[in-house]
Structure formats: C-alpha cells, structure tokens
Structure 1
Amino acid sequence: MKGIEPAQTIFSLWLLNLILITTSPVLGQIRRAHPQSDTYAGLITESEKYFAEKLKTDKIIGLSAAIIMDGKVVWKEGFGYSDRQTKVPMTVNTVVNIGSVTKTFTALSVMQLVERGLLDIQKPLTTYLPNFRPLARPGIHLDSITVKTLITHTSGIQSDIWKNSDLGSGKYTDVLGFINQTHLIYPAGLAGLYSNAGYNILGHMIKDVTKTDYADYVHKNIFGVLGMKHSGFAMDRLKNRTKIYAYGQQAQEYELRDIASGGIYTDMNDFTRYAIGLLQAYRGESTRLLRQATAKEMFSLQNGHVPLETNKKGLGWFMFRNDSTFAVYHAGSAGFTHAKLLLIPKSNAAVIVMTNTAEGGQAAENFCFNLLPRFGLSIPDLFPIPNTHSVSTEKDLVALPDSVLARFSGIYAESSSYNVIKMDSHQLMLVNGGAKIVLKPVSETEFIPYDIKTTDTIPRSNQRLIFKGINDNIFLSRRVKGREYNLGYRLTPIDPAIWTKKTGIYEHYGYQMLIGDSKFKSAELYLSTDSVLMLRLKTMGSSNEIPLDVIDSGYALTSGVNSGFGGFNVKFREDDSYHILEFAGLSFRMSK
C-alpha cells in the first residue's frame, strides 16, 4: 500500500476443479473446518451478508475470505466466480496471487536465517551482498544500509525498477544490477519509502546466503513446513488459478519478475495454515516456523525512531498498535488481484481476504479494518506518533523578525504538487496553485495556518504547520491533532536556462510495461511558472504532474516523501539524434 501498499503490477490464470455451489448464482459454498458455537454465528452471518452485497455494489467477480478465532478457522467461504465465462465458482480452493503479502514470507525467511546464525539484520547489507553498489551521493553511506532497513522500507532504495519487470524477460536477481545504476533517494533511517526493489534484493541475499534459489527456499522452509501444498510461484504452474478481472472485463495474464516482493500464489486453505503457523509461533505453541522470541521481535515496533514515516511497522509487517494491544497487517496487490492479511496475535485471531478483481481491493480492506474494534483497535492506531517535534500548547501568536521568517522561504515539493512559501507584508504566505494561506507563528518553527476570507483571516485552530531541519534540508509537515502529514522538502533553486533546451514531450520507446493502464506513453519535461522542473508522466489511463529535485545536469529525483511517484531516479542523456530521459528503468526520447 502506498499508504500501506503501492502496487504497480498484475498477474494470473487458473484451472479449477468444479465444486457445487448453493442455490444462489453468486455465493459459493460455506466451508467450516470446526463446529461452530453461537459465539461467532452473528459474525459469520454478517460476513456472508457483507461480501454478497459487495459483489454486487463493487462489481467484484470473485472473492474468498476466512476468519480465525482462538487459533482455529471458524469460517471460510468463496463468493462469485474464478472464471465468469464458464461459471466456475470461486472457492477456498481457488489459487490467487497475493502480491505484496509475499513480503511477509521474505521477512520470515530472513528471520529464519537469523535464528540459524547465518544473518545479522543489524549488519550492513554489503556484509552479505558485497555487489550492492548503488551510485554515490554526498552524505549517504552504504554501511548505514543494514538488512533491517530493507525489511522496514527505510533503506532509501528506489521503490521500483520497471525495466524487464515481467517474468518472461527478467529475474528477481536482475534487480540488484538495476539498483546499482541508481542513486539512493534518502539516507538510511530518514524516511519510510516502500520499496519492492528492496525486497527483491532481500530475496537475492537469501539466495546468496543459502546457496538456494529464493523460490526453492520458501517451498522447503515455509510451504513444506506448514503443509501448504497448493502454494507456489508462477513457475510452478499451480492448478485452480483464478482468472483476473478489471472494469468488468477479463484481463491479460501478467507474471511478475519480482517474486520476492510479490510473487506468491496460494488458496484460502493454505493461507489460513500460514496465518495459524505465525500465531502459534508468537504464542510459543509451535517452533516449526520460528522461535517465540523471534516471532515477537517481528511483531514489535521497529521504526519508532524514523523521522519521516506514515505507518507503524514491525519486521515485514505494518502495525496497528496502542497502549493495550496490537495487530499486524499486510496488503497485497498484483494489479488486478488483491490479498489482505490481518493478524491479532494476543487474541489468537486472524482475518484473510483474497479477490480476483481490481475493484475488489477496497471492500477486502474495509472488511479487515471493520473488525479492528472487536479487538480493541482502530485505524488511527496504524499511524506513528510524530517524533521530530513537540507541538506547542501555546495558542498565542508571537512576533518574529523578517530575518527569521525568511529562512523558510522556498519551494517545498510534494509527490504531485508543490507549495511556495514566501514573504508577504512581514508574514509568511503558503501558495499552492490558486490557494493562499497565511502562516502566523506560535514559535520560531511552528505556525497556525489562516485561510484568507475577503476582509479577514480565519485560523485552522486544529492544525499546525511545522518546519523541521533534517539532514541539511528543511521539511514541511502538517500536524492535525496527533497525526502528522509530510508536505515535502525544500528544493534547491535551478537555473532555468540550463533546462529550457531539454523541455518538451519525450515519447516512450524500448521496454514497455505490459499491464493495461500502467503502460507508459510519454514523459513531458517542462518548467512551471515558479521555475520548478516538472515531469508530466502519462500512462494509457492517467497523467501525473511530478516536481523534480534536480541534483545535477544528468539526473534528478522525483519529489515527495512516502507517497505517489516520490522516490525515483530520473536520468538525462543525449545521443546524436535525441534527448533521452529515463524513469524507473523505462526510456523516453525527444528529437533534437
């Protein structure tokens, strides 16, 4: 999620044994592994009703779900179809690509190797992958990139490399070489930046340390241990795989190169085995997967010290956590399929949903999140407590000299826009497009935003804007009650004259993404009225306006913290005929 999981890819195909369905043309049969008491009867009835309705309202073709209570599966069921054309039902035996939930298997594999004395996650990644050599950037040291920073998405490694991203043209071990051609985005430990590339590098590390291919390692040490006989990777040609759907149509199968970050396929029966295995490890009821101490480490808060974060994280998991209890969660998207896994270890419970439809992701996530209150949790428990600034309780404005206010003037780039901070009549003004907000100080770094109304200004009394100096730059954030939103960092001004000759529309050429709306069409480079170098990135179904943080004449970084297209290298070069622009491993060119 780029909130919890950003996903850029898709998959699937099938072959399914016919199973009887109920008299409803939509609902699949109910599968209950254990006799039910009245304790969960209401929950089961509401769950069945919820999904039956969502299939209609959200145009979901097929879905399966399960609930685990007291360490046992109390309900699992399939809804709709795995193949709409031939009316093959979606059941608990239907195999679905779980996308980024695969990352929990990769993190689990790493921690198994820690237990065996083969890894130390506190050591630099280069200890185990000496060929990890991304391009040098001032102030960023390779030795600060530990194995743990990759697991927690705080390494500063670029999010994705899309060149040769399908399994037919690439392998997960190719990613290391591609990353070595990029600059790191942030110093390790500064910001949470969700990185599929980072997890494929972890898969590469597992291969090198064990002398076993990543897929073979997972088969032997996780699937085999838990009896997950219907789980595997695209290369395994599993039976009972679902068809995939988007916008009411069957979609083209697409097998992803990145098997260590999003390549596992499973059915609901095996998925529940995985969830129960993790719960048993945490509770000390079984050490087949992990020792109890290791499982507890994975499910403990690991990123509380990271200055620029959006989610609480364990090792390989996102966390809902309050003073009383916690849950761990991961979402997966393979473009069209979705998977959601919520574990509540102290309650020995879990919730799992998989769907074969692009439009089904929100319904699946809402089902999991709607059950959080049952376990003493809520959605805000996912968000970290800001650790870089204590908000003043003072409400009285203070007077600051122009020299102090002027320190914050500049352009602060988000992932898809930017804010101009400038002096106006001895006060700071924030301008974003046509919107203007006056910033009135309550301290030297903290301001109350005021909306401008005809003849007056009205304070947003529940908000504060905060300027923070971190790593020789200034970051801007918005604090709303106890939650902080990153609004970007200050760009270094550029010389427009240097870039004018490079502006224009660059048409895509070379390797193309193979998935519908994510096929890239063009990249337009232009200068905004505020002299910000902008990238207008067009796919077959969308257009994105991205401010660029120019490092030198040869490369820039997409701006923004934690979200959108923030955190990619953009390279510029020329040949005899073309200006060439490269973005995330894809190439675009414009005639000279």
Structure 2
Amino acid sequence: MQSSDEFFNKNLQQNKNIVGISAAIIVNDSVIWSNGFGYADKFNNVPMTTNTIVNMGSITKTFTSLSVMQLQQRGSLNINDPLNSYLTDFRPKTKNIDIKDITVRSVLTHTSGIQPDIWKNSDLKSGKYTDVLGYINDTYITYPPGMVGLYSNAGYNILGTLVKTVSKQDYAAYVHQNIFAPLGMSQSGFAMDGLKYRSKIYLGGNEVEEYELRDIASGGIYTNINDFSKYAIELMKAYNGESSSIIDSPTIREMFSLQNQNVPIESNKKGLGWFMFKNDSNFAVYHAGSAGFAQAKLLLIPKSKFAVIVMTNSAEGGAIAEEFCFSFLKKYQLSITDLFPAPITGKIHSSSTPIKLSRHSLKRYLGNYAQEEGYIKVILEKDRLRLIDGERQYFLTPLSRDEFLPTEIFPNDSLAERSNKRFVFKKINNENFLFQRIGDREYESGLKLKNVDRSVWENKTGKYRHFGYQMLIGDTKFKEAEIYISEDNVLMMKLTTFGSVRHIPLRIITHDHAVTCGINAGFGGFNVSFFEKDDQKVVDFAGLTFRKDR
C-alpha cells in the first residue's frame, strides 16, 4: 500500500503532464488499497479521488462480451452460430470468403476479418453505434475468418447491435439493467447519462475538449474506481464458483480460456473479450482502454483472486498505469512474454548448418512483402537471396526449405551473421507471409503482394484532398491521400495527417477496392475504395473521403 502511494506520487511529480490518476488493488474479494492522485479539474483544484468518473475506453469491450455471453447463458443465442443468423442485415462484401464463417465467436475474439474501425460520423453528435453495421456492409472482409487477429472496434459495435437485436433492448439500457444495477454500479454509465463527478481530460497538462464517441459498445462506458472494483470482484467470484448475479461459473470460465491458439497470424493470446497472459503455472486476463485522452487498465488474476485497476485523465498517464499493473505479474508466476502466442513457424534450428536449395526453389520467395509502412524486397543475387528492409539488408542462408539465417550487409560491404535471428517464409490460406523469429518471439514481417496491373490502376493515381466528415482528435485528423505505384510495382498510399506522413502498401481486392497492409498497427487492415461522385474521382479510407484535384 505504501509503495503504491509512493509510485504514483513520484510519477506525478516527475511528469507534470499527468494531471490525475486513481487506482485500486483487490485481494480476496476486498479492495485492500485505493486512492486518487493529482486533480480531476486542475483549474478549479478539484482533487482526483476514487469517486472521480473517467471513460474506461476499450475496457467497455469486456462488458459487451459479457452481455453477449449472458444472452448465450439464457439460450437466446449461440456464439458458434454465424453472425448473420441473428443480424440478417449483416452483409459485408466478400471475395473467396463464406459469410457464414463469420461467427459471433470470431467477432468476440477479433478474428472475423472485420476491419478495425469506421471513422465516418464517429462522434456521438454525428452518429450512433448501430450505424456501424451499415457502414461495414460497404466494405470487404479483410481476411478469412480465423486467419488473422485484427483488433476491431467496428466488430464490437456490431456486437452492441447484436445485443440490442437479441435482447430487444438498446445496448446502453441492457448494460444498465443486466450489469450495472445487479452490481450496484450506481455511478457508472454512458456519455448521454449526464454523470456527475466526471473528470476533465488533459493533453500535455492542458485541458482539452471531451470527445464523446459514437462507439458506445466498444469504448463508451464511464465509471470510477469504486464501481470498477465491484465489477472486478464479481467476475473473480464467478470464476471461483461463487454465486453471481451477472454470470455463472462455466460461462466466465469459458470467457477466461484461451480461444485463439489456432489462429495463424496473431499478436496476443485472447479469451472472449479479454487479452490473456498464460503459462503452465497461472494466467491473467487484461484489457486496456483509451478514449481520446482518458485511459484505463484492468488486470485480473482470477485463480489467485487478485486484481489491479488504474484510471487516468491524461494522455501521458497510460504508460505508468500499465507499468503499475504489469509490476504484479511476477508475484503470480507470470511475465509480459506470457501474453504472446506460441510461434506458428515451429522450432527454429539451433544449428546454423546451411543446406543447398536450387535456384528454382529460391525463386518462389522473390517479391515484395508489405508491412505497416513500406515493404521488404526479396531478390535473387548470384544464387542466393538478398532481403532489403529499408536501410538494412541481409543475405539469407537456407537452413531448411523455409527457414533462413540472415547475414547483415553493411554499407562498407562488411558482413555480420545474426545467429539469434531467423527469417521464415510460410504459406497460409494461399497467401505468402514472411516471419521474423528472434528467440521464442515471432513477428509477422510482411505479406507478399501481387504486382499491380498498371492499365487498371494508373488512372487512379494522384493526390486526393480530404473533404467531408473530419476526425476531431490526435493523429486521425487527415489532410491528404496520395495514390502512387512504386518503382517495384507496388500500389501505395501516402497518407498525410496533421501529425504524420505514412507510406502504406495496398493489397488489391478488386479493380476498385484495396486493403491497407499491416496488422494491429497504425492504419493497417482498412478498406480503401475508389469511385466517382459528381464527376470527381473519390477515395474512401476507413469511412473518410478524399477527392482528386481537378
């Protein structure tokens, strides 16, 4: 308790940009420590306390998944059923994908292929969470269900619509009646509830205007530490077989069980609505939330009946909130690496003994491998592979049919073998991926792209200026999208926001549709569509529009 007080007091003293934080530690169904630090309203000297209400952001998704699982517990739905068996209006575009493979479970685990977000009318004044279903129907499913873990706010807003459709009750009303009320969370709700004791929010230590999200089912719940603790305690009680007013033990145990061990392209272990730290000794479930500038973190270690919660009203407070939560992992035989899934590329060869592959065998790896920004180029040079990744270059020595040992090439032509690293080529669902292995960690380094048909795409190249609905905050306030074809015949989008410039490769789906590359990072996994409106060429990216200069 003393060290927790000292941790937050020290961090607020050292970082004046962090205005307010509240936190709690729970052991054996009791809050053993909770406190507030700094200010909820700096200008008026209102202190941050355990009663101060903050937006929990994406931790809302755990409430949405709980709502869906309550409906399954009552027999109203089955998460293994196709989503469109309950939402008949769910009709996204597909190519070589059966829409019936998109199950409720796949949406809960972020493996449905639904793109990460739709930014059109994304504030509460302009749109409703139920609008997202219609917007997604104008997009292509990005990957076959079960192939890629692609974190999707849009998917969880569609789950909010599912809750509304099946329960015949608006999502917010459902959560109030079926979660908040039974738990006595009387100080919790949504932006439209007009909650008292809400904190101001801050960026760089300065107060900024509250940005109310349309997406109430993926990030819209407001609460305080006292109410939040009731939620954490109840979930752990149910997990441990105690009677619960909101969920039974078998259902919460399913939610807290590993769901994505067979997903080939994945970055984190996941349960149903939760991220998971898991090893042979113990497990924890975790979720973080960010809503513009307010942030929250929730870590539960159910078997040990331990939980920690942190909420902050400052954009810069997220890092110390996470540090505080993760500092308890070791005490319960866990570590940060327990969050990462086992590599799908198998066990790397401890031996560095090379094998001989024919020129013909090596040729199948040649090409451009798209990343979140830019791409890796693999070429054949004197019967060996050369990998070019921006400023870094490697010769690749085969250790098996698909696994290669990299030797780094420096500008002065000196070489250095990187024996702790491997590059692995792997085919998944008829798509070719490049993985990088460092020890036991695996990183998806790129998706092999097909060359562009210039006769189709050259007339779509050029600069497109933003028009129409504009985002209000952060790095998602846009200026321009420039479409061009690189010298290596890769379709690219140069995306300019008010804070960054990014060169993003595009994976072509049809002659008028593409998807940004990169998974769970930056602006990856979004549809980009091309059409004409009022005799002008238009690009739609994530629901925002750009038109070409005449």
- Give the equivalent residue in structure 2 for 1:316: 273
Match for residue 221 of structure 2 among 261, 264, 273? 264
* CA distance in 1 between partners of 2:494 and 2:47 (Å): 42
* CA distance in 1 between partners of 2:208 and 2:475 (Å): 11
- The 5-angstrom pairing of residues 126-525 of structure 1 reads 126-138=84-96, 140-453=97-410, 454-525=412-483
* CA distance in 1 between partners of 2:414 and 2:499 (Å): 42
Cα deviation for residue 501 of structure 1 reads 3.4
Farther-moved stretch of structure 1 (91-100 vs 246-255): 246-255
1:290-348, Cα deviation, whole Å (9 max, x unpaired): 11111111111110000000000011100000100000000000020000000010110
* CA distance in 1 between partners of 2:489 and 2:11 (Å): 47
- Give the equivalent residue in structure 2 for 1:33: none
Q: Is the 8 A contact 1:573 1:579 kept in 2?
A: yes
**Residue 49, structure 1, aligned to residue 6, structure 2:** yes
Q: Is the 8 A contact 1:524 1:535 kept in 2?
A: yes
Q: Is the 8 A contact 2:345 2:424 kept in 1?
A: no
Q: Is the 8 A contact 1:309 1:562 kept in 2?
A: no
* CA distance in 2 between partners of 1:363 and 1:529 (Å): 44
Cα deviation for residue 119 of structure 1 reads 1.2
Cα deviation for residue 106 of structure 1 reads 0.4
RMSD: 1.2
* CA distance in 2 between partners of 1:403 and 1:102 (Å): 52
- Give the equivalent residue in structure 2 for 1:76: 34
Amino acid at match of 2:457: W
* CA distance in 2 between partners of 1:518 and 1:303 (Å): 30
- Give the equivalent residue in structure 2 for 1:536: 494
* CA distance in 1 between partners of 2:455 and 2:515 (Å): 19
- Give the equivalent residue in structure 2 for 1:64: 22
Cα deviation for residue 528 of structure 1 reads 2.2
**Residue 117, structure 1, aligned to residue 90, structure 2:** no
Q: Is the 8 A contact 1:307 1:388 kept in 2?
A: no
Cα deviation for residue 545 of structure 1 reads 1.8
* CA distance in 2 between partners of 1:576 and 1:244 (Å): 41
Q: Is the 8 A contact 1:191 1:562 kept in 2?
A: no
* CA distance in 1 between partners of 2:294 and 2:502 (Å): 24
Amino acid at match of 1:255: E
Task: Give the match's secondary structure for 2:509.
Answer: strand
Task: Give the match's secondary structure for 2:326.
Answer: helix
* CA distance in 1 between partners of 2:63 and 2:507 (Å): 35
Q: Is the 8 A contact 2:37 2:49 kept in 1?
A: yes
Cα deviation for residue 389 of structure 1 reads 3.3
* CA distance in 2 between partners of 1:98 and 1:322 (Å): 28
Cα deviation for residue 483 of structure 1 reads 1.3
* CA distance in 2 between partners of 1:149 and 1:86 (Å): 46
* CA distance in 2 between partners of 1:503 and 1:287 (Å): 58
Amino acid at match of 2:300: L
Task: Give the match's secondary structure for 1:552.
Answer: coil
Task: Give the match's secondary structure for 1:395.
Answer: coil
* CA distance in 2 between partners of 1:502 and 1:128 (Å): 38
Amino acid at match of 1:374: K
Cα deviation for residue 229 of structure 1 reads 0.2
Amino acid at match of 1:92: T
Cα deviation for residue 456 of structure 1 reads 4.4
Cα deviation for residue 542 of structure 1 reads 1.8
Q: Is the 8 A contact 1:487 1:561 kept in 2?
A: no
Cα deviation for residue 577 of structure 1 reads 4.1
Q: Is the 8 A contact 1:100 1:331 kept in 2?
A: yes
Amino acid at match of 1:303: N
Amino acid at match of 2:189: G
Cα deviation for residue 211 of structure 1 reads 0.3
Amino acid at match of 2:361: V
Cα deviation for residue 455 of structure 1 reads 4.9
- Give the equivalent residue in structure 2 for 1:31: none
* CA distance in 2 between partners of 1:438 and 1:91 (Å): 57
Amino acid at match of 1:587: T
Matched pairs, number: 548
Q: Give the TM-score of the pair, scaled to structure 2.
A: 0.98
Match for residue 528 of structure 2 among 570, 575, 580? 570
* CA distance in 2 between partners of 1:62 and 1:263 (Å): 20
Amino acid at match of 1:129: L
Cα deviation for residue 430 of structure 1 reads 0.6
Cα deviation for residue 223 of structure 1 reads 0.2
Amino acid at match of 2:398: P
Q: Is the 8 A contact 2:147 2:263 kept in 1?
A: yes
Amino acid at match of 2:138: Q
* CA distance in 2 between partners of 1:397 and 1:460 (Å): 14
* CA distance in 2 between partners of 1:575 and 1:275 (Å): 50
* CA distance in 2 between partners of 1:411 and 1:499 (Å): 18
Q: Is the 8 A contact 1:488 1:561 kept in 2?
A: no
In the alignment, structure 1 segments of 5+ residues that lack a partner are 1-43
In the alignment, structure 2 segments of 5+ residues that lack a partner are none
Q: Is the 8 A contact 1:317 1:330 kept in 2?
A: yes
- Give the equivalent residue in structure 2 for 1:526: 484
Amino acid at match of 2:74: R
Farther-moved stretch of structure 1 (202-211 vs 521-530): 521-530
Cα deviation for residue 481 of structure 1 reads 1.1
Q: Is the 8 A contact 1:321 1:381 kept in 2?
A: yes
Amino acid at match of 1:529: E
Farther-moved stretch of structure 1 (547-556 vs 356-365): 547-556
Q: Is the 8 A contact 1:134 1:183 kept in 2?
A: yes
1:116-171, Cα deviation, whole Å (9 max, x unpaired): 01111111111111111001212x11111110000000000010000010111110
* CA distance in 2 between partners of 1:174 and 1:342 (Å): 31
Farther-moved stretch of structure 1 (555-564 vs 415-424): 555-564
* CA distance in 2 between partners of 1:245 and 1:456 (Å): 50
- Give the equivalent residue in structure 2 for 1:11: none
- Give the equivalent residue in structure 2 for 1:96: 54
Percent identical among aligned pairs is: 56
Farther-moved stretch of structure 1 (475-484 vs 221-230): 475-484
